[in-house]
Amino acid sequence: MTALNAVTDYTLDGEVGVITLNSPPVNALSRPVLEGISLGVAAGLADDGAKAIVLICEGRTFIAGADIGGLGSRREERPIDPMGDLERSTKPVVAAIHGTALGGGLEAALCCNYRVAVPSARCGLPEVNLGLLPGAGGTQRLPRLVGPQKALEMMTSGAHIPAPQCHEMGVIDALVEEGKLREGAIAFARKVLAENRPLRKVRDINEKVEAARGHPEIFAAFRKANARKFRGFLAPEYNIRCIEAAVNEPFDQGIQTEQRLFRELLSGEQSAAQRYAFFAERQANKIPDVPDDTPLIPVNTVGIIGAGTMGGGIAMNFANAGIPVVIVEVKQDALDRGLSVIRKNYERTASRGGITAADVEKRMGLITGSLDMNALATVDMVIEAVFERMDIKKDIFTKLDAICKPGAILATNTSALNIDEIASVTSRPEAVIGLHFFSPANVMKLLEVVRADHTSKSVIATSMKLAKKIGKIAALVGVCPGFVGNRILGQRQREAQKLMFEGAMPWDIDRVLYDFGFPMGPFAMSDLAGLDIGWVKEKSNGETIRDALCELDRRGQKTGAGYYDYDENRVAHPSPVTEKIIQDFVAKSGVNARTITDAEILERCLYPMVNEGAKILEEGMAIRASDVDVIWENGYGWPVYRGGPMWWGDQVGLDKVLAGMKKMHAEMGDLYKPAALLEKMVAEGKNFTR
Ligand code: 3HC
């Protein structure tokens, strides 16, 4: 074996030269890895004994893409062309894939003549999720292999496609036995030699792209079908344009188009925000005082208290991950209802092809119901998901303390209540933690893990690991009203309401926030949820706009009217009735309604959020600014291409945010007091996120 550089070995196995890359954790295309590929190809070509070459990786995965941290940084280095070296090789090159071949990793594999993979491997071009497009020839090579339609789907979704499916699509030439990748790849290379197969290059395979030439409707239909999903994002459109180039331009010209569009995205604000989000999510798992080697508590069974929407959704997460769950309810009919909703959810997913009918049964088989809390005596973790009332929660935790085995984690899904107070009724507050799921809990990615005063490090470490296992993105927060997400949301909601009393209409406020990139504005959201949540007809006395609307039976989408009027297709229209109600309220309050600009609406809604984020950091309720952003992007619809409130505040300029807060403070009082941390950051010329 010859070491070619710190991350690359070359060895001859029979008549096959094997290049092995070893650059943990994911063999990303750092400069040494790129150099290693070029050195490896050169070694294979120079080795008279080698008639073919295999490119393989050590560790958990094949190359998982370019080194994201290094993207965009200018380097004065000797230019190298490892992709070209692979493609120009005069001896056949076989990529041997395990783990994931993603982004630049798959692009490298596409420069090889052949690709083999173990069945558990996955391939994808996920650059779109970083606000980018594949910039190493992938946009021109993939459509040549799989055709434009599949390339559109793969590149704009960034999906990691299982190897068997890649095999069907033609991305992978052969599947080899799990655990025997090296042998399988070498055997495949020998077969290529024995059969004297040509040095097939993906760049020369033109049938599928030529067939799509002169059919712009393929792209028009794709754009139309996905317009809602792509709204606000630049990268999907740029990926589409590259595939159009693959169809309409010769290969080399297509590569130039790809390069031009790649550079444009890479230097833009969206990709910077999305790359930040990638690392922010991973950073959120790192807890300074909870080291990596903190002992974990094995969680093999979970109990859930409450079979309502939340409890059912939470249960599904565990069943999806293969962890048995017992759901405890008080009444049989509530339990039956809860279980049947879960089944319906699974069946709906199956009817759309997301899972198989067998998966439905398997997952339902992992979920059992009980009316007896003693069923929780043996579980490793309990998550309470009942009504938000302190007395009920205290009662439950008192019982859990008596029933659950020593060492079990006792979690509450509260979104508002003081977890220290809940923990105080147990003899083991170190076992108590908050796991704040978001509705619908089987869909929403975010998990706020709430650390109470006495929560043990093991319980925290286990909860963070478990979150990843069930497909959640977790952030650790402290106990404070609303925790991090809802506390910041409170600022925006308050401002939206106040702006109405100053002359802005709900649809103006919603439009500004929607155009900013939120999926919907606060008033459209209220209409969707129902204005009557928490509203009691008998107690209503027309004191608020909501009271007035509900009294007119304008209780939201379900009644055909709320803040908005809804037509038969549930399309919202500004409502003259609501407008009149608001105008009357404003007139009664003696305020002179004024014209409020879109810019002011945005600042009034968002600056206080940044300010609250600063207060949260100041109080230590979030570990770092990027955790706040992770929460807002994954739980509250903050557009990822705008990075989250703290990142956004930095981009706007913290001095500008502070000046805005000072103005609001002077005009409207202490609710708007600038956070001391914000003042400090500005005084020191610092940013939250960089
Ligand atoms: N560059 C730099 N670091 C990377 C990386 C990459 N491409 N991919 C993963 N890492 C790092 C992570 O930051 C993390 O570091 P940490 O331990 O210090 O936090 C570590 O590798 C492990 O990553 P995960 O925690 O995400 O591990 P998982 O096992 O859960 O997932 C993975 C592995 C599926 C490979 C996932 O990391 C992933 O999706 N990575 C990104 C893949 C990607 O987007 N590739 C395209 C890059 S852009 C590109 O290639 C441009 C080209 O077209 C020119």
What pLDDT digit, counting tens, does each position of 4-34 carry? 999 999 999 999 999 999 999 999 999 999 9
Confirm if 182 and 108 have CB atoms less than 8 A apart. no
Confirm if 254 and 242 have CB atoms less than 8 A apart. yes
Q: What are phi and psi of 330, to 5 degrees?
A: -90, -40
Confidence (pLDDT) at 72:
80
Confidence (pLDDT) at 330:
95
Mean local confidence (pLDDT), 295-300: 98
Confidence of residue 68 (pLDDT cuts 50, 70, 90): very high
Residue 75 pLDDT more than 80? no
Homologous superfamily of 518-589: N-(1-d-carboxylethyl)-l-norvaline Dehydrogenase; domain 2 (1.10.1040.10)
Ligand 1 atom with the smallest distance to the CA of 129 is: 44
Q: How far is the CA of 287 from the centre of ligand 1 (A)?
A: 20
Confidence (pLDDT) at 93:
98
> In this structure, which residue's CA is closest to atom 10 in ligand 1?
26
Confirm if 125 and 156 have CB atoms less than 8 A apart. no
Q: How far is the CA of 167 from the centre of ligand 1 (A)?
A: 23
Among residues 127, 249, 281, 633, the one annotated as catalytic is 127
End-to-end alpha-carbon separation of the chain, Å?
A: 43
Confirm if 158 and 125 have CB atoms less than 8 A apart. yes
Q: Where are the domains of the chain?
A: 2-266, 302-481, 518-589, 598-683
Confirm if 29 and 65 have CB atoms less than 8 A apart. yes
- Supply 343's token pair: 């089944």
Confidence of residue 539 (pLDDT cuts 50, 70, 90): confident
Chain mean pLDDT for the chain: 96
Domain 302-481 has CATH 3.60.15.10: no
Residue 591 pLDDT more than 90? no
Percentage of the chain modeled with pLDDT above 70: 100
Mean local confidence (pLDDT), 417-443: 97
672 φψ region: left (φ > 0), alpha (ψ -120 to 50), beta (else) = alpha
Mean local confidence (pLDDT), 599-616: 98
> In this structure, which residue's CA is closest to atom 22 in ligand 1?
25
- Is the peptide bond preceding residue 198 cis, with omega within 30 degrees of 0? no
The CATH label, of 1.10.1040.10, 3.40.50.2300, 2.60.40.10, 3.20.20.10, for the domain at 598-683 is: 1.10.1040.10
Ligand 1 atom with the smallest distance to the CA of 278 is: 13
Q: Which residues are 97's β-sheet partners?
A: 117
- Residue written as token pair 């092809």: 353
- Supply 677's token pair: 């941390």
Q: How far is the CA of 26 from the centre of ligand 1 (A)?
A: 7
The DSSP code sequence of 66-107 is B-GGGTT---------HHHHHHH-SS-EEEEE-SEEETHHHH
- Supply 662's token pair: 């000072």
- Supply 98's token pair: 């395990």
CA 547 to CA 590: how far, in whole Å? Answer: 20
Q: How far is the CA of 268 from the centre of ligand 1 (A)?
A: 21
Confidence (pLDDT) at 356:
95
Residue 498 pLDDT more than 90? yes
- Is the peptide bond preceding residue 298 cis, with omega within 30 degrees of 0? no
**What tens digit of pLDDT does each residue of 222-278 get?**
999 999 999 999 999 999 999 999 999 999 999 999 999 999 999 999 999 999 999
Ligand 1 atom with the smallest distance to the CA of 125 is: 46
Q: What are phi and psi of 326, to 5 degrees?
A: -115, 130
Ordered alpha helix ranges (H), 404-451? 419-424
Confidence (pLDDT) at 248:
98
107 is catalytic: yes
> In this structure, which residue's CA is closest to atom 20 in ligand 1?
25
Mean local confidence (pLDDT), 53-67: 97
Give residues (CB < 6 A) around ligand 1.
25-26, 28, 61, 64-69, 100, 102-104, 107, 126-127, 130, 132, 134-136, 138, 282
Q: What secondary structure, in 3-state letters, does 508-539 show? A: HHHHHHHHHCCCCCHHHHHHHHCCCCCCCHHH
538 is catalytic: no
Torsion of CA 612, 618, 624, 630, to 10 degrees: -20
Mean local confidence (pLDDT), 605-629: 98
> In this structure, which residue's CA is closest to atom 12 in ligand 1?
282
Element (H, E) at 574: strand 572-574
Q: How far is the CA of 652 from the centre of ligand 1 (A)?
A: 28
CA 198 to CA 114: how far, in whole Å? Answer: 11
Ligand 1 atom with the smallest distance to the CA of 126 is: 44
Residue 73 pLDDT more than 90? no
Among 26, 27, 261, 279, which is best to mutate for testing ligand 1, by the most ligand atoms less than 8 A from CB? 26
Q: How far is the CA of 33 from the centre of ligand 1 (A)?
A: 15
Among residues 15, 35, 87, 107, the one annotated as catalytic is 107
The CATH architecture annotation of domain 2-266 reads Alpha-Beta Complex (3.90)
Confirm if 199 and 92 have CB atoms less than 8 A apart. yes
CA 614 to CA 372: how far, in whole Å? Answer: 45
Domain 302-481 matches domain 598-683 at the CATH topology level: no
Residue 618 pLDDT more than 90? yes
At residue 682, the 3 state secondary structure works out as helix
Q: What are phi and psi of 220, to 5 degrees?
A: -60, -45
Q: Pick the residue with more confidence: 40 or 416? A: 40
- Supply 402's token pair: 């008596």
Note the pTM of the prediction, 2 decimals: 0.95
Element (H, E) at 303: strand 302-305
Confidence (pLDDT) at 648:
98
Confidence (pLDDT) at 590:
87
Q: How far is the CA of 22 from the centre of ligand 1 (A)?
A: 15
- Check residue 556 and report its DSSP letter: B
Ligand 1 atom with the smallest distance to the CA of 60 is: 29
Among 68, 130, 278, which is best to mutate for testing ligand 1, by the most ligand atoms less than 8 A from CB? 68
By CB atoms closer than 10 A (0-12, 13-18, 19+), residue 623 is buried
> In this structure, which residue's CA is closest to atom 45 in ligand 1?
65
Mean local confidence (pLDDT), 420-428: 98
Ligand 1 atom with the smallest distance to the CA of 285 is: 19
**What tens digit of pLDDT does each residue of 629-650 get?**
999 999 999 999 999 999 999 9
**What tens digit of pLDDT does each residue of 646-670 get?**
999 999 999 999 999 999 999 999 9
Q: How far is the CA of 467 from the centre of ligand 1 (A)?
A: 18
The DSSP code sequence of 337-384 is HHHHHHHHHHHHHHHTTSS-HHHHHHHHHTEEEES-GGGGTT-SEEEE
- Residue written as token pair 């478990």: 466
Mean local confidence (pLDDT), 543-563: 93
> In this structure, which residue's CA is closest to atom 53 in ligand 1?
134
- Residue written as token pair 């108590």: 432
Residue 172 pLDDT more than 90? yes
Confirm if 398 and 426 have CB atoms less than 8 A apart. yes
Q: Which amino acid is at 171?
A: V
Residue 76 pLDDT more than 90? no
Confidence (pLDDT) at 540:
85
